[in-house]
Homo-oligomer: A and B are copies of this chain.
Amino acid sequence: MPQHRIGSHTLIFPTRPRILSGAAVVGPKEGRGPLSQAFDLILEDALWGQKSYEQAERAIFQEACQRCLKKAGVATERVQALLGGDLLNQIMAASLAARELSIPFFGLYGACSTMAESLILGSILVDGGYAAPVLCAAGSHYCTAERQYRFPLEYGNQRTPAAQWTVTGAGACLLSGEGKGLACAAMATVGQVVDMGVRDANNMGAAMAPAAADTLAHHFLDTGRTPQDYDRVITGDLGRVGSDILHELLEEKGFALPEGGYMDCGLSIFDAQEDIHAGGSGCGCSATVLNAMILPRLHSGEWKRVLFMATGALLSPTTSQQGETIPGVAHAIVLEGGK
């Protein structure tokens, strides 16, 4: 067994990499939500002066990275690695932003689990002494995701009750081995791909919930901890449908989540009046809520320790049209109050 590992899925960061700064940039709909005051920038419109929504998504990703660096007072040239991704084919928002930033780049694809995947690999780079500081980032855009995964907006299709609303936004965190941080990363549980046979591209929550339950169960078994050891167990974007399924699956596994000890980023970002159906989703959902809500509460001491788990539905229009089901994956990282 490697020395920085416990159990089958969990690894430990002995030096506890710090999150020096975080930034969240969101679209107008997200900006009208309950976290309105906590975002670093709220766009006036979803195109943000760009010629296409894809370019807007790139610009938002880049802006989150640059604001994150500015808040930490770190020059772009000093950053030794950028780890990130998004929902566009070929992760073009992240790839094009990486081109503009000129930072050594690890492109990741974990669908909506990307923010946690980037934080885990970034923490490994810092903790192992391979790179620091490193930027971890993820983003998504409602208009590009709808076109790519479902229908172009112009088609005006009716959304089902289980549908979620892809967040237009991006979040970025700067990790370092030294300095005063908002929070630090203590350990992480890497998820495996789980598929319970969901085929409905309008029900991402149900597709992701089994993977979320699997990763959480592995985390608790590996560490000997229980949900009560965390101020919050936080999922990325299960939404109303997925969260309910997660609770059921976890109860079956003997790890019932306590009342008030659970939150879902997808149920925290939008105003209930916004007609978003089952909740928010997209890489940008957990990435922006992490930076606008979770890190500030860890920094203030309101929360001492949380389990942040971003959840991804590995939905492909191509394989779905060929009859494939939608696999899910979820990665979890333990974040503790900074010092």
Asked if A130 and B2 sit within 8 Å, CB to CB, the answer is yes
Task: Tell me which residues across on chain B come within 8 A of A126, comparing CB atoms.
Answer: 2
Distance in angstroms from A43 CB to nearest chain B CB is: 19
Chain B residue contacts of A190, Cβ below 8 A: 81, 104-106, 131
Contacts A98-B192, A102-B192, A322-B52; is A111 near B90 (CB within 8 Å)?
yes
Choose from B2, B130, B195, B315 the contact partner of A90 (Cβ within 8 Å). Answer: B315
Please report which residues of chain A, range 25-62, place their CB below 8 angstroms from some CB of chain B when the two chains form the complex.
51-52, 54-55
Q: A54-B322, A80-B5, A125-B124 are in contact. Are A91 and B109 (CB under 8 A)?
A: yes
**CB of A100, distance to nearest CB on chain B (Å):** 9
Report chain B residues within 8 Å CB of A324: 55, 92, 96
Answer yes or no: A95 CB below 8 A from chain B CBs.
Answer: yes
Q: Point out the residues of chain B lying under 8 angstroms from A322, CB to CB.
A: 51-52, 54-55
A158 within 8 Å of B (CB atoms): no
A90-B111, A107-B117, A316-B89 in contact; A128/B4 too (CB < 8 A)? yes
Q: Are B96 and A319 in contact (CB under 8 A)?
A: yes
A88 within 8 A of B: yes
CB of B131 within 8 A of CB of A5, answer yes
Is there contact, CB below 8 Å, between B92 and A89? no
- Provide the residues of chain B in CB contact with A96, threshold 8 Å: 193, 319, 324, 327
Q: A5 touches which one: B11, B124, B130 (CB < 8 A)?
A: B130
Complex Cα distance, B192 from A125, in Å, reads: 16
Residue A103 CB within 8 A of the other chain = yes
* Cβ-defined contact, A90 with B109, below 8 A: yes
Complex: A148 Cα to B148 Cα, angstroms: 13
A193 vs B106: C-alpha distance when bound (angstroms): 10
Among B51, B88, B105, contact of A318 (Cβ-Cβ < 8 Å): B88
